[in-house]
Amino acid sequence: MTEFKHIVAPEEAGKSVKELMRQHFTFSSRLMTKLKFQKLIYLNGEQMPSWVPTAAGDEIVIKMPDEASDFPPEDIPINVVYEDNDILVINKQPWVAVHPTKGKPNHTIANGLMKKMYEDEKAGTGHLYKIRFVNRLDMNTSGLMIIAKNSFAQEEIVKQMRKNTVVKRYIAVVTGEMPHDEGTIDLPLGRPFADEVERWVMPVEDGGQESITHYRVLERFNGHTLVQLQLETGRTHQIRIHLSYIGYPIVGDHLYCYGDPFEYRRVNNIPDYVHNERVSDYIDRQALHARYLAFEHPVTREHMEFETEIPEDIQKLISTVKAL
């Protein structure tokens, strides 16, 4: 269990525990309320209400609430890149949804995490916690994800995301050789139909949200481009839509390989679009991978930086196209 500690300095003597908690820790009002009602505030080793005044040398200890998710555990592989008491960083495989939904109630990363938690607790190497996905990836996108193990860790990283200090870089293989070595795609995105999973470029006045993607070409080969992308905003399907809209769809992307999916269905008279059709001879999913993450640890404030290798199926795609 994560604990936060503070030794009362001589100049702080007389201040209440609550005052010092607000001064030294960035707990949200919601978390402060939980700490109060679950009696998780300690002064010199004893549970104590937050209004109690302090003396120099007193030790304040705040324990995070015990919480646990209850997804059914399943044998879904979890590729751990980094783990401590507050966060978990994994390298997600393609073909697995992140969390259960109405259409996909199981066989998700969340189910795999539950199995891992139970095994770690039994082995004495971990504890149960509520799964909090800080960033999410589409089912067929692979790469780095952060899972927070408590509400404080989640809130702190989300704050960094709002300040745009979390660095998220992806790599993708797109159809066509992009002419510019680098650039920015600044196009608002929205969901034209509430019952459809697809999004597309929409004016802000019609409900579109600001969406900004920066790109840099890494390599061009045989009518394709290997491109690095950095998100400034994190809208659903943002990279996939932005690249498709400017004429360079991601190889294997069944939703956006034809551009505007709604226009494609209308022109081709396809009322029941098959979402899982294979659209590439070289890869059976979109060639998109979340390769790099950098952020500040929510508790230790240490700079965290992670980078993964390009997945085998994307490497094979690149090799195959180069050999044509």
Whichever domain contains 93, its CATH number is 3.30.2350.10
Q: For residue 152, give the nearest of 248, 24, 31 by alpha carbon.
A: 31
Per-residue pLDDT of 171-229, as tens digits, reads 999 999 999 999 999 999 999 988 888 999 999 999 999 999 999 999 999 999 999 99
Based on the fold, state whether residues 227 and 124 are members of the same structural domain.
no
Based on the fold, state whether residues 217 and 256 are members of the same structural domain.
yes
- Domain extent, residue 137, equals 66-161
Q: Which of 14, 44, 63 is the last residue of a domain?
A: 63
Based on the fold, state whether residues 83 and 154 are members of the same structural domain.
yes
Which residue is listed with tokens 């996108």?
A: 141
Q: What is the mean pLDDT of residues 268-286?
A: 77
Cα–Cα distance measured from residue 247 to residue 303, given in angstroms and rounded to the nearest whole number: 37
Per-residue pLDDT of 297-312, as tens digits, reads 999 999 999 999 999 9
Within 10 angstroms of residue 304's Cβ, the number of other Cβ atoms is: 17
- Mention every residue, 6+ apart, whose C-beta is less than 8 A from residue 30: 151
- Mention every residue, 6+ apart, whose C-beta is less than 8 A from residue 132: 147, 148, 149, 150, 151, 153, 154
Mean pLDDT of the chain: 93
Q: Would residue 215 count as lying in a domain?
A: yes
Residue 228: what pLDDT?
98
pTM: 0.88
Based on the fold, state whether residues 179 and 136 are members of the same structural domain.
no
Burial class (CB in 10 A: 0-12, 13-18, 19+), 46: exposed
Based on the fold, state whether residues 54 and 77 are members of the same structural domain.
no
Q: Would residue 194 count as lying in a domain?
A: yes
Q: Would residue 100 count as lying in a domain?
A: yes
Based on the fold, state whether residues 276 and 214 are members of the same structural domain.
yes
Q: What is the CATH number of the domain that holds 53?
A: 3.10.290.10
Task: Say how far residue 294 (Cα) sits from the centre of its chain.
Answer: 12
Cα–Cα distance measured from residue 136 to residue 144, given in angstroms and rounded to the nearest whole number: 9
Confidence band, pLDDT 50/70/90 cuts, at residue 272: low
Within 10 angstroms of residue 77's Cβ, the number of other Cβ atoms is: 12
Q: Would residue 313 count as lying in a domain?
A: no
Based on the fold, state whether residues 202 and 97 are members of the same structural domain.
no
Q: What is the mean pLDDT of residues 136-144?
A: 96
Q: Would residue 296 count as lying in a domain?
A: no
Identify the three-state secondary structure at position 260: coil
Per-residue pLDDT of 49-89, as tens digits, reads 989 999 999 999 898 888 889 999 999 999 999 999 999 99
Confidence band, pLDDT 50/70/90 cuts, at residue 258: very high
Based on the fold, state whether residues 126 and 195 are members of the same structural domain.
no
Q: Which of 133, 161, 189 is the last residue of a domain?
A: 161
Q: Would residue 304 count as lying in a domain?
A: no
Based on the fold, state whether residues 187 and 234 are members of the same structural domain.
yes
What total of structural domains would you count in the chain?
3
Could you tell me the two tokens for 156? Answer: 């702190």
Q: Would residue 300 count as lying in a domain?
A: no
Q: Which of the residues are catalytic? A: 138
Based on the fold, state whether residues 180 and 283 are members of the same structural domain.
yes
Based on the fold, state whether residues 56 and 84 are members of the same structural domain.
no
Q: Which of 161, 183, 210 is the last residue of a domain?
A: 161
Could you tell me the two tokens for 64? Answer: 């995070």
Q: Would residue 307 count as lying in a domain?
A: no
Based on the fold, state whether residues 281 and 174 are members of the same structural domain.
yes
